[in-house]
Amino acid sequence: MTTVSLFRGLAAGAALACLAPTLPAAESAASPSAQPKKKSAGPALKRIRTIKLFMRDGLRFEPPRFEAKPGEDLVLEIENGDTTDMAHNFLLLKPGTREEVVTQALALAEKGTAQGWVPNHPAILLHTPLLDVHGLATLKLRVPEAVGVYPYVCTFPGHGMVMYGAIYAGVPLPKLAEDPNLPPNAAQGVIAGRGQRPFAQRVFLPDASPAAIAVALTGSQNACWDAGECRLRYAWQGAFIDASENWAGNGSKLSALSATPWWRAPKDAFPLRFGAADSPRPAAKFLGYTMNTDGPEFRYRAGEAEVREQVLPRRGAPGLTLRVRIAEARGPVFYHAPADANTQWTSTVGKWSGTVLTLTPAEAADFTLTLSSALCTP
């Protein structure tokens, strides 16, 4: 194991990142990772808490959150412990700025690599460079005096929408499962196994937004679910992706598909409509995903509805299935499922009219679409 040790606290540019010459004694008995500082030269024994943070498989920070006192001095030891060869960074931000900073990081595009995907943004209090697997960074942090929930996030393209956590500075922790400042996988604790289906991987995929998620289902099917557009983009069968260039470099290269997709969604065709089949396309916002036993479940907001969409293998028959759950739809829901010559859609409930499926709110609460094609095998 090679370890790169970086001491970046003072270089991070923010006053908050620096330890003042005289440190207040920090009470730290609450944390198991609390470590007394070695003997100090001063008359009083100074104690600085060390918080160990890991980047884990499945785009997670561990721990996903911790408490700190406003003004407290901390040492953050951040290690990339991801076994899937993914690079990550760590940015600590001012409250409420995560999405803005993530968006700006994505907008760096070709310049992102050189900057370690860290944009120039005044909300960034502290950050590490991009850490390769086993990479380690140690940061000094003086927790801001302003009480608040300070998000931390990895801004590697696509990661920022699911890979984040928070420091609770003077704010009590809510229940883990109900924490609005954490991604859903924080409470679930599922780790995507390397090479073991099913799993999902954030990579740059062809013909998708930079926030694409490559999904490997149990069996031989693979799919591209686009978190930027909140919809399934295409499916292919066989080996997963060749991301060797992606892993070897800094992740800015496109990954190659192992086979030609047997199905592709039309461009700019968001499938869901509410109220009427031809109503305007609802605004979609990705909320995160969790890995379940059979496949990933994506969560997003479409207009006023919250949608959960699970991509699943189709057992014993060619194709794949989408289990869609739309909570509390206020009126009829329409799913546009444009087929091509080789593709067929079926649904467990609802009424088809051509390629449009009409669902009552009750039916929309839980329905399963099957997508099959003459171009794939069971």
Residues at the site binding Cu ion, with contacts judged by CB under 5 A: 88, 154, 156, 159, 163
CB of residue 54 to Cu ion, shortest distance in Å: 12
Token couple for 256: 């190659």
Judged by beta carbon, residue 107 or residue 362, the one nearer Cu ion is 107
Residue nearest Cu ion (C-beta atom): 154
Distance of CA 155 to the CA centre of its chain: 10
Judged by beta carbon, residue 154 or residue 322, the one nearer Cu ion is 154
339 HSE (CA, 13 A, CB side): 18
Judged by beta carbon, residue 85 or residue 207, the one nearer Cu ion is 85
SS3 for 239-306 is: CCEECHHHHHCCCCCECEECCCCCEECCCCCCCEEECCCCCCCCCEEEEEEEECCCCEEEEEEECCEE
Judged by beta carbon, residue 57 or residue 73, the one nearer Cu ion is 57
CB of residue 93 to Cu ion, shortest distance in Å: 15
The span from the CA of 87 to the CA of 30, in Å, is 31
Q: By C-alpha distance, which of 292, 294, 259 is closest to 373? A: 259
CB of residue 151 to Cu ion, shortest distance in Å: 14
Judged by beta carbon, residue 107 or residue 283, the one nearer Cu ion is 107
The span from the CA of 117 to the CA of 251, in Å, is 10
Judged by beta carbon, residue 97 or residue 321, the one nearer Cu ion is 97
H or E element, residue 105: helix 98-106
Residue 40 DSSP code: P
CB of residue 167 to Cu ion, shortest distance in Å: 18
Judged by beta carbon, residue 81 or residue 282, the one nearer Cu ion is 81
- Residues with Cβ within 8 Å of 93's Cβ and at least 6 positions away in sequence, in order, are 101, 123, 124, 125, 150, 151, 152, 153
CB of residue 109 to Cu ion, shortest distance in Å: 17
Judged by beta carbon, residue 65 or residue 88, the one nearer Cu ion is 88
CB of residue 84 to Cu ion, shortest distance in Å: 11
Neighbours of 110 (CB within 10 A): 7
CB of residue 235 to Cu ion, shortest distance in Å: 25
Token couple for 270: 């968001």
Q: By C-alpha distance, which of 311, 222, 217, 226 is closest to 258? A: 222
CB of residue 246 to Cu ion, shortest distance in Å: 13
Judged by beta carbon, residue 84 or residue 222, the one nearer Cu ion is 84
CB of residue 213 to Cu ion, shortest distance in Å: 13
CB of residue 53 to Cu ion, shortest distance in Å: 12
Amino acid present at 178:
E
Residues in the chain: 378
Contact criterion met (CB below 8 Å) for 199 and 193: yes
Distance of CA 295 to the CA centre of its chain: 15
Taking phi over 0 as left and psi of -120 to 50 as alpha, with beta for the rest, 105 belongs to: alpha
350 HSE (CA, 13 A, CB side): 29
